[in-house]
Structure 1
Amino acid sequence: MLTRVLGEPGVDVLEAAHWQGVRKLDDGRTLFCTRLALGSLELGGLGLVVEGAFDGGGGLVMQLVEAIGEQLDSAVLGFLALTDGKGALERLDALSGEPPAASRGHIGRYEVVTPLGTGGMAQVLVARTRGPEGLGRLVALKRILPHLSSDPSIVQQFLDEARIGLRLSHPNLVHFYDFGEAEGASYIAMELVRGVDLERVLRAAKGPLETAHAVAMVCQGLAGLHAAHVLQGEDGAPLE
């Protein structure tokens, strides 16, 4: 059902349980609906009621509603992880087991599972590749935010990141798998790293880390950075 409604719905929320997208209501208002889910866990739906009709079907408003829904999904994932003491990716692993979750759409050949976070330039989502017999793997899919996809400097920065990342291979660096473009926005498919983040390590330590442990982590990071900085192009010049 519509578990979160912004505005007076004017419809039976049970009737609207399976609605998706834009719906014109009998009273002249418009209802924008998107489903909320984490892996195979259904969280209900989000609806936004707006006065009047919209040119072009209200596509921009629908994008806004979907973005709000993705942020709610991310917040719920973080809350679920905190309640049982697990990391967000550990919790996502449990939620992404078989049977596979219903698709939240596709970006290129990747099936979107759930959002992980959004930065100033791009959004990172958990996505799934699908191969023969349904085989595939989860990846971290980074895509340029829609309102920046036509900015030449942002696109070039993203292309440079993909070009260099696809050539890197080091145990202390995230692996880049693929690069492409879908619906006018570039994306990068990367390794989805499991494990515990540094914030949780520090919280569990309840104090400063042991010197040897801290130095070892810094050295691992520096080794990855060094591998990236000595990488050369086909002409022998450093990659920039």
Structure 2
Amino acid sequence: MNYGTEINSEGFTIINAVYTENEIEKLISLIENKTETDNENPTFRKSQDLFAIRQFHKEFPETLDFIFNENLKSIIENTFGKGYFITKSIYFDKPQKSNWFVAYHQDLTISVDKKLEIENFDNWTVKQNQFAVQPPKEILEDNFTVRIHIDKTTKENGALKVINNSHSKGIFRVENLKLENETICEVEKGGIMIMKPLLFHASNKTTNNERRRVIHIEFSKTELPQGLEWSEKTILN
């Protein structure tokens, strides 16, 4: 099945049963074995409300064979075509009693290897030697994100809320966002959500004492200009 029509019109789609129970349990095992023994890693961010691992696919390369099973590879190729590569990945673990929430926003930055003065590349930041920049919107419009759900995700444990079709309006201020056509994106354990970076999305606090773990992976097929490179670029086999 091609999910491109829904992604183009609504900005997202939800696909359940992409992973088997065994595949999810293997991912959990690989993640937990390393996080229990590597507490000093600078890419790990831990608080009572959130545990996040940046550059996840680089820190946990052993998970990639399980993440990119035949189901996911087929979905990506049939929906977007060939030539896409990983540009960023983050593992989010929202604990059972988390009060962490995220207000409505668009994903406007990409991770790059250095800072260069390039036209239409703006709003530079750097964290832990990681440069981020807002590229031209055409790059963001062509990119997509896959969110792999390790736990059943509902409105009670922080499922994403999105504003349908808000990705089609370009980049604009959240103050101008009209909260109509809002969808709560509940996803089964072993399912995925695919979304466009310019889709406005948010996440509420957890209210049901259930954990929510997600692997967030961003993709592009764009080569950056003037010697600028994606800092986390990984080409899939």
TM-score (norm 1): 0.24
**Higher relative contact order (Cα pairs below 8 Å, separated by 6+ residues):** 2
More helix by share: 1
